[in-house]
Amino acid sequence: QTCALPILKIETQRLILRDYRPEDLEIYYTLKAEPTVWEDLGGAAVHQKGEAAKLLGDTIASQISSDTG
């Protein structure tokens, strides 16, 4: 049995908020690798694209499990 997962998408004229997708890796890595972003957020920047890919995969998996859970 399969079910359609709800997809988060909120859109205004100037902003679109939506769930992460695998094709977001390039921009996700760019943000995760920028130390000045993480100074304000209290996290740590990643140093390799593979780290960002794992974090993005974990985030997407979490989105999926929370949608079905």
Q: How confident is the model over 12-68, as pLDDT tens digits?
A: 999 999 999 999 999 999 999 999 988 888 888 999 999 999 999 999 998 888 755
pLDDT score, position 1: 46
**Bridge-partner residues for 9, per DSSP?**
18
Burial degree of 14 (CB within 10 A; 0-12, 13-18, 19+): exposed
pLDDT of 3 over the 60 cut: no
pLDDT score, position 58: 95
As a whole number of angstroms, the distance between CA 53 and CA 34 comes to 15
For residue 11, give the H/E element and its range.
Answer: strand 9-11
Q: What is the pTM of this model?
A: 0.74
pLDDT score, position 69: 45
For residue 47, what is the DSSP state? S
pLDDT score, position 66: 74
